[in-house]
């Protein structure tokens, strides 16, 4: 019978380094799994008796310990892998404490809700778009990219796209500072239609996003998201006017939209150039692929917040556009946009050519 026992939730997290250390030392152990729902519902006696009311708990025979780093130090000295003098011990503690600091920052970023869920939170996103990119009432720039994959066995042409390779489509809503606010993934569709299948679109259509009411917005205009030609125009989705219908006023609108919308191109481009796996044909089972893609997005947000300009090009109108290396979506089939959507876009045209005008570059 193994003498060690780990009691923890069915996750890796704080128990994983303990498991790794034991495995590395060839030791065996048993696990007691505590279900999170039971824990939070107060159905676990252990919650009351645990020294700091938290897990993991570690048992070495009758000896019971809490605090994952303490457990690691205990096992380190028990297995003779701790430092051999005070100074070595201090170095080990220093690294351990450094990892702990990073973990605190990292888990805050992992567990925070990036997705705005109240009108006030949407207004915060919008104020950044207004400040950085001069586009008012904007909740995000939306786009989708093909992520190249090695198709799973027996999937036939399911993942085959119009560009002639196998891919899944990653859809994202991106903030003014190139953070991913929302990501969704879809297997097969090539164009903006993929967006209609996302939870985000469903909530947009059914009013479930809790967007600010028009009356609270700049010029009383509807709150909008910015898209390109792959998407359909709607009351809350603003896309550019087609070239053939351009007037000088509409040209101004297209310029303002393109200028604000490029954050989504930049976010994809920066992420792909950092996590270069995204530029290869990813060969993973689909459930792992989902985790890997989501992880890249979360790490992107983490690095953006933690390393700022080291990770990201300086943002603002002067920043160079970082070209995306991922393939974009196909253009949507032309269709007549609702009259209300065309009116919303026309209101923005008037605003950008009136009170909201800014100097245009000579080449626009």
Instruction: Tell me the backbone φ, ψ of residue 348, rounded to 5 degrees.
Output: -65, -40
Piece of 16-24, 53-61, 200-208, 352-360 that binds ligand GSH (CB under 6 A): 53-61
Task: Decide if residue 96 touches ligand GSH (CB under 6 A).
Answer: no
| 69 vs 313, beta carbon nearer ligand GSH | 69
Binding-site member from 18, 55, 238, 322 for ligand GSH (CB under 6 A): 55
47 vs 188, which CB is nearer to ligand GSH?
A: 47
Choice from 6, 14, 182, 304 touching ligand GSH (CB under 6 A):
14
Please tell me the distance from the alpha carbon of residue 40 to that of residue 37, in angstroms, as a whole number.
5
Query: Closer to ligand GSH at the Cβ: 53 or 316?
Result: 53
Which residue number, 111 or 287, has a Cβ lying nearer to ligand GSH?
Answer: 111
CA distances from 299 to 116, 147, 263, 307 (A): 19, 17, 17, 11
- Residue from 5, 59, 65, 67 binding ligand GSH (CB under 6 A): 67
The answer to whether 68 contacts ligand GSH (rule: CB under 6 A) is: yes
Smallest gap, in angstroms, from Cβ of residue 76 to ligand GSH?
15
Closest contact distance (angstroms) between CB of 39 and ligand GSH is 6
| Nearer CB in complex with ligand GSH: 108/202 | 108
Kindly state the smallest distance separating residue 64's Cβ from ligand GSH, in Å. Answer: 13
- b/e map 159-190, b = 16+ CB within 10 Å: bebeeeebbbbbbbbbbbbbbbbbbbbbebbb
C-alpha distance across the termini of the chain, in Å: 76
Query: Any contact of residue 13 with ligand GSH (CB under 6 A)?
Result: yes
- The least distance separating ligand GSH from the CB of residue 106, rounded to whole angstroms, comes to 13
C-alpha angle with apex 105: 102 to 109, nearest 5 degrees? Answer: 130
Report if residue 123 touches ligand GSH, rule: CB under 6 A. Answer: no
Question: Which lies closer to ligand GSH via its Cβ, residue 44 or residue 337?
Answer: 44
Stretch in the footprint of ligand GSH (CB under 6 A) among 67-75, 182-190, 260-268, 295-303: 67-75
In angstroms, the Cα distances linking 195 to 32, 104, 143, 284 are 42, 34, 9, 24
Q: Is 54 in the site for ligand GSH (CB under 6 A)?
A: yes
Stretch binding ligand GSH (CB under 6 A), from 63-71, 110-118, 163-171, 174-182: 63-71
User: Would you say the C-alpha torsion 114, 117, 122, 123 has a positive or negative sign?
Assistant: negative
Where do runs of H (alpha helix) occur along the chain?
16-24, 36-40, 45-49, 68-78, 86-111, 119-133, 193-196, 199-206, 248-274, 286-307, 339-353
Q: Is 69 in the site for ligand GSH (CB under 6 A)?
A: yes
Shortest spacing between CB 72 and ligand GSH, in angstroms = 9
Q: How far is it, in rounded angstroms, from Cα 353 to Cα 350?
A: 5
Q: Which is nearer to ligand GSH, 38 or 88 (CB)?
A: 38
Q: CA 95, CA 296: separation in Å to the nearest integer?
A: 25
CB contact at 8 A, 140 and 171: no
| Residue 331 host element (H or E) | none
Four-residue CA torsion sign, 25, 28, 29, 31: positive
99 binds ligand GSH (CB under 6 A): no
The binding site for ligand GSH (CB under 6 A) comprises 13-14, 53-56, 67-69
């Amino acid at each position: 019978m193994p003498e060690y026992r780990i009691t923890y939730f069915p996750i890796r997290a704080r128990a994983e380094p303990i498991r790794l250390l034991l495995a590395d030392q060839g030791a065996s152990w048993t696990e007691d799994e505590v279900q999170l729902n039971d824990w939070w519902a107060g159905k676990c006696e252990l919650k009351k008796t645990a020294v700091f009311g938290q897990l993991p708990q570690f048992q070495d025979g009758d000896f019971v310990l809490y605090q994952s780093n303490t457990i690691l130090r205990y096992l380190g000295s028990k297995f003779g892998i701790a430092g051999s003098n005070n100074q070595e011990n201090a170095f080990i503690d220093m690294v351990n404490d450094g990892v702990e600091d990073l973990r605190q920052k990292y888990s805050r970023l992992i567990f925070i809700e990036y997705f705005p869920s109240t009108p006030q939170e949407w207004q915060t996103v919008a104020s950044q778009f207004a400040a950085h990119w001069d586009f008012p009432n904007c909740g995000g720039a939306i786009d989708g990219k093909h992520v190249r994959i090695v198709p799973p066995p027996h999937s036939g042409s399911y993942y085959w796209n119009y560009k002639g390779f196998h891919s899944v489509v990653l859809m994202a809503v991106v903030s003014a500072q190139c953070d991913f606010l929302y990501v969704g993934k879809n297997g097969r569709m090539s164009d903006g239609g993929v967006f209609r299948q996302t939870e985000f679109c469903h909530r947009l259509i059914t009013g479930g996003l809790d967007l600010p009411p028009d009356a609270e917005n700049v010029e009383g205009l509807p709150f909008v998201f910015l898209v390109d030609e792959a998407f359909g125009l709607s009351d809350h989705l603003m896309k550019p006017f087609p070239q053939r219908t351009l007037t000088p006023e509409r040209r101004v609108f297209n310029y303002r939209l393109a200028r604000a919308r490029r954050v989504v191109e930049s976010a994809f481009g920066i992420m792909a150039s950092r996590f270069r796996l995204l530029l290869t044909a990813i060969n993973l089972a689909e459930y792992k692929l989902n985790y890997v893609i989501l992880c890249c997005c979360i790490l992107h947000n983490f690095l953006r917040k933690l390393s700022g300009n080291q990770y990201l090009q300086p943002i603002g109108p002067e920043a160079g556009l970082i070209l995306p290396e991922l393939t974009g979506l196909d253009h949507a089939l032309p269709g007549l946009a609702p009259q209300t959507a065309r009116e919303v876009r026309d209101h923005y045209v008037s605003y950008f050519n009136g009170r909201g005008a800014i100097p245009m570059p000579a080449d626009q």
